[in-house]
Amino acid sequence: MLTATKGGKINISEENNTKSVAEKFSKLIKQGDFILLSGNLGVGKTTFIKYVINFLQKVNKQKISEVTSPTFTVINEYQIKKILIKHYDLYRIKNKKELNNLGIQENLKDQITFVEWPEIIKKIKIKNSINLIFEYKKNYSERYLSIISGNKKFLNEFK
């Protein structure tokens, strides 16, 4: 069983740990959740999302999709039964006008939204937001995940 470290960080250095945490996370999220993923390039944000989406597909007896980063398309969508998942990558978004054109705040209650590189939207107040902070330690040989949410019941699942 994976648990948070003393500082509240979950060790996801091994890909199996990332998968386990993502599967546990997928059991807790629901439509209307807005998940912000922060961290350096290559730290595991897209891999985490892939495991969440693939686990939800498996549970719902759907074909497993190849989940890739929407760095160039900006958004990928996945329909899993009645659940719509939108996966945004805002790495190339440079200003609020470009952000507004994406419609990222539309129909939030009807979907699960994942946003990589959310720095440009940090000031937007969104209900049901969950912050996932991915970081490297020890010369990039270790990776950790911190989960920040206003929902204490949600956070208790990772203690």
4 domain residue, yes or no: no
**Does 82 fall in a domain?**
yes
Give domain status of residue 1, yes or no: no
For residue 134, what are its two tokens?
């991915």
Provide the number of structural domains found in the chain. 1
Q: What is the pLDDT of residue 6?
A: 43
The answer to the question of residue 96 being in a domain is yes
Average confidence (pLDDT) per 10 residues, the chain, 159 residues: 58 94 94 93 95 97 94 92 94 85 82 92 76 89 88 69
Alpha-carbon torsion angle 62, 43, 116, 153, nearest 10: 70
Helix (H) or strand (E) holding 16: helix 15-28
Residue 104: the pLDDT is: 81
Q: Cα 74 from chain centroid?
A: 15
* pLDDT of amino acid 153: 64
Do the domain assignments include residue 2? no
- pLDDT reported for residue 27: 94
* 78 domain-assigned: yes
pLDDT at 3: 45
Query: What pLDDT does residue 5 have?
Result: 45
Distance CA 32, CA 113 (A): 8
Give the C-alpha separation, 5 to 105, whole Å.
34
For residues 106 and 93, give the distance between their C-alpha atoms in angstroms, rounded to a whole number: 18
Structural domain of 128? 9-156
Question: At 13, which CATH number?
Answer: 3.40.50.300
